[in-house]
Chains A and B, each alone.
Chain A
Amino acid sequence: MNGDIAIGAVVGIGLIAAMMSVLLRQYRPEFALLTALAATILIFTGMSQWLIPAAQRVRELLEQEPELAGSAAILLKAVGVCFITQLACDLCRDAGENAIAARVETAGKAAILLISLPLFEQVLELVMVLLR
């Protein structure tokens, strides 16, 4: 397991990118934003090699239970939507565009609501069975 070495690389990339970003913000704010985006992408690319087995394991664990068979995909989809929404939202906030960030957040919430509707239906059915 070389996770401890790679987390050092992630911390290093984060600190270097933060320094570059602060340096560039005085002269050209748009390049500060691009530096932040590059750091995000690099860190995510490095992180994906830990994320892939973790997501696979979660999927396997949830599929063992027949009741939860469909929920693993929904859960992971919701996490993915959260992830990219948060990414775009934070970058917009850093660029000073709070309105765009808020709209991206709203769109993410709507997408997650749509993704998790089957689960809501299941809960509702359970409630109906209990009420009867």
Chain B
Amino acid sequence: MEVDLIFKIATIGIIVAILNQLLVRSERPEQAMMTTLAGLIVVLMMMVTEISNMFETIKTVFGL
């Protein structure tokens, strides 16, 4: 089990939160929103393969 994935996601979350604060404080709310969106997409791309792995395993275990 790779706990790294959780740490990676948490790190990206913290970085995005900091960037978001910085951009909001410097009067750029649009870019702050874009940063959040980019972070979200990056994390989702990281997780897509894991999610598909999990569904494959569920299919084989329960014979769905």
Contacts and interface: CB of A to CB of B under 8 A. Distances in A.
Interface of A: 9-10, 12-13, 16-17, 20, 23-24, 27-28, 30-32, 34-35, 37-39, 41-46, 48, 51-52, 55, 73, 76-77, 79-81, 83-84
Contact of B1 (A30, A45, A55, A77): A45
Interface residues of B, number: 34
B39 A31 contact: yes
Nearest to B4: A42
B2 A55 contact: no
B13 to A, nearest CB: 3
- The secondary structure that dominates the B interface is helix
- The secondary structure that dominates the A interface is helix
29 contacts: A10-B1, A12-B3, A23-B10, A23-B14, A27-B13, A27-B20, A28-B36, A31-B9, A31-B10, A31-B13, A32-B13, A34-B9, A35-B6, A35-B9, A35-B10, A38-B50, A41-B50, A42-B1, A43-B1, A44-B58, A45-B53, A48-B57, A55-B62, A73-B63, A76-B62, A77-B63, A80-B58, A80-B59, A80-B64
Interface of B: 1-3, 5-7, 9-10, 12-14, 16-17, 20-21, 36, 39-40, 43-44, 47, 50-51, 53-55, 57-64
A10 B3 CA distance: 10
Contacts of B43: 31, 34
